[in-house]
Amino acid sequence: MRQGHFFSGKQTPRPLISLCFGGGAAIMEKIAFTERNERMRIASTMSDSIVDGPGLRFTVFTQGCPHNCPGCHNPETHDPAGGHEVTVEELAEKIGKNPLTDGLTLSGGDPFLQAEECAQLAALAHGQGKNVWTYTGYTWEILTAAGRPDWDALLAETDVLVDGPFVAAQKSYDALFRGSTNQRLIDMAATRAAGRVVLWTRPNPLGHFTIPES
């Protein structure tokens, strides 16, 4: 899905928990955390990333990706039966261990294949005062038009959405927090307020804002 740093982790094939979910009321009930034992399939985690968003970040590389982007740096995350299972609560506890962690980044793989569980984890991270970035090979337009409650739930818990497939021909080491320049850093709160895509901008030390490099 994206071009980034390499992850390491054991590959233990098991059935994927689920790829599709239904019933908005049931999803929102779970996000309210009446139960916190939801399991998700991941490739690995990184507790001190500085390339998956601003500040010090806890990155979860989810397992399973349908995009198969040529040149993807994490092809081991594509197989939905790869990786290993963890509970949402276990991941949330790891995020909370370091008070210096600024945010949670959901990467992959594609988090929207396990959107319900990722939305639960994102909500727990927000409860710890962390911001949430989500990487996906889908575009914002596809995600918002799908009408899927699980996707909508994850979008609602995402502060910045990095959308679009990795395109090798547009690869750039200068693209801020992205692998290729077609991918966008979308400010989700501003986008919801405006009713259109609004790109995220990063404050510099003087307090002014700069547009992400293209």
**Host domain of residue 158:** 24-210
Per-residue confidence (pLDDT) for residue 38, from 0 to 100: 87
Per-residue confidence (pLDDT) for residue 151, from 0 to 100: 98
Cβ proximity of 41 and 83 under 8 Å = yes
CA geometry: angle 43, 153, 74, nearest 5 deg: 20
- Tens-digit pLDDT profile for residues 176-201: 999 999 999 999 999 999 999 999 99
Is residue 14 included in any domain, yes or no?
A: no
CB atoms inside a 10 Å sphere around CB 137: 23
- Tens-digit pLDDT profile for residues 105-163: 999 999 999 999 999 999 999 999 999 999 999 999 999 999 999 999 999 999 999 99
CATH number at residue 172: 3.20.20.70
Is residue 16 included in any domain, yes or no?
A: no
**Which residues are 133's β-sheet partners?**
105, 160
Q: Which of 141, 133, 146, 134 is nearest to 109 (CA)?
A: 134
Is residue 8 included in any domain, yes or no?
A: no
Is residue 185 included in any domain, yes or no?
A: yes
Angle between helices 115-127 and 24-31 (to 10 degrees): 30
- Tens-digit pLDDT profile for residues 40-64: 999 999 999 999 999 999 999 999 9
Is residue 103 included in any domain, yes or no?
A: yes
**Number of structural domains, the chain?**
1
